[in-house]
Structures are given as C-alpha cells and as structure tokens.
Amino acid sequence: MASETPEKDGFLAMINAKIAALEALRASYLAALSVGAFGQAADLTDLSNFNPASIVPTSPRQTAPGAPVDLPTGVFRSKSMAASIRMYLEAARRKLTLPEIVSGLKEYGLQSSAKDFDRTVNSTLHRLKEMGDLLPFKDGWDLASSYPESLRKRLSQEAKPSRKSKTKKKAKAPVAPRVAAAPKELTLDQRIQAFMGAHFMQIFTPQELADAIKEANPKMIGMALGRLAARGKIAKHKDGGYITKPIEHPKAG
C-alpha cells in the first residue's frame, strides 16, 4: 500500500505546526533577553522540563465563544436579511445561535418591517440551509463553506427525511408533490408558487423571495405576488409578507 503524500499526512502536519510554534517562541524569548525583559540570568525561569508536545495549534476558523464581532456600525442597513446573515457569520468566524444572530442583525442596522423579527430570522436561516449556504449544529449555525465537503454531504444526508414515507404520502395526497427548488424553465409566477409551496405556512417578503429564487429585480417579484394573490394562490399577511395558505379569521358570533 502506498504511503500518504506529505500534504495528506496529518501527523507530519502536526509536527510542522509545533516546530513553527517553537521557532516563534524561541525568537520572542531571544528578543526579550536582548532588552533585559527577564532581569538577570539567575532570575530566569528553568525551562528544562518544558514539554513541546503541550503546544497545540488552534483552528484558523473558530474564535472563542462570545468573542465580539468587528463590523462597521450600520453595515446591514442597505442589505437583505439573507446577505446580512452570511456577512455576520463570516465576520464572527464561529458558530452563532439564533439569539446571537438576531442581536447582531439589530445591532448593525438591519431594517425589517416584520413584527416577529426572531421568527423571520429563523425562517431565513432554514432557507439558507436548504440552499446549501449554512450548516446547523447543536451549538449554533455556521457557513457551509468553512467546512470540508465530506462533512457537508454527511450533514445533508442526515437531514433528509425517509424517502419511503414521503412516497406513500404523495400517492395518497390529491395535490402535486412539493419540490425543493423551482426549475429555471418555469415562469416567474410558477417559480414563486413552487418555492412557497415547498415552504408551506412560512411568511416571505418580496426581497426574501428575490434572494431565494435568484431573481435580481424585486419589482418583478412584487408584481408576480400581486397576480398570485389576486388568483387566490397566496395571501398577503398582516406583517406585510406573503404566505401560501390564506389566514382565516373566525367570524364574530
């Protein structure tokens, strides 16, 4: 069996990282000695029992939990919620929980007309996950691009529901099966209707729908939503967004 190449040898990579760390430590120590930072030689700490194996290189992606995010004030003011979430996670360089993301979006100026802001953020996170941009973990959300392709595929497989149970339900259901993404050859109205059908009972603003189906002209989205609402395919929510199923209010008795 052929031996692993140096680029794929994990043990060799660890040794190289520790050598680099020790060389940096040696250079810093010599520099401090040259200016008398440690006093007289008799006062120096005995490093004869120092164990180089205790030096463990840290991950270049993750920062400490709770570390502040360095972004300009109001940076999200002119951006969509999806774009702001991607930028915030990139700047944080670590996993963030839903409350942390909600707090950061508000702090850095994201504008939203949604009354239930937390719910809208949560819906956008799951939409970005389905688009392959984010990965969900037990301790928060992170950018999918920060992890190996093998991990992304494994998490994607674990998230998929059982095909057998889905097939049985589709056979009994009187409506067409929902799709995860609308084909490009469909009209704009059909693409919107297919996407909202796949996200039943979720509320979307025109800008969020534009981001989701890759439509660069939000004005066209607004016109299409008006047509679909007039035909009874979707309904306008009181928060200003649109929803697949019309909201029925109980009649006064």
Q: What is the pLDDT of residues 169-206, one digit of tens each?
A: 555 656 655 555 555 578 888 888 888 888 777 888 88
At 110 the pLDDT is: 92
Q: How many of the other CB atoms lie within 10 Å of CB of 30?
A: 9
Q: How many of the other CB atoms lie within 10 Å of CB of 128?
A: 22
**Tokens matching residue 179:** 């799709």
- Would you give the end-to-end CA distance of the chain in angstroms? 81
Instruction: Enumerate the H helices of the chain as residue ranges.
Output: 10-34, 81-92, 98-107, 117-130, 149-159, 163-172, 188-198, 206-212, 218-230
Range among 36-45, 48-57, 121-130 with highest mean pLDDT value: 121-130
Assign 118 a pLDDT band (cuts: 50, 70, 90): very high
- What's the whole-model pTM score? 0.40
At 177 the pLDDT is: 56
Give the span between the Cα atoms of 68 and 59, in whole angstroms. 18
Between residues 98 and 216, which one has the greater pLDDT? 98
At 103 the pLDDT is: 92
Percent of the chain with pLDDT over 90: 17
Range among 24-38, 53-67, 87-101, 189-203 with highest mean pLDDT value: 87-101
Note the residue count of the chain: 253
- Is the pLDDT at 219 greater than 50? The verdict is yes
* Mean of the per-residue pLDDT values of the chain: 76
**Out of 31-35, 94-98, 112-116, which region has the weakest mean confidence (pLDDT)?**
31-35
Burial degree of 181 (CB within 10 A; 0-12, 13-18, 19+): middle
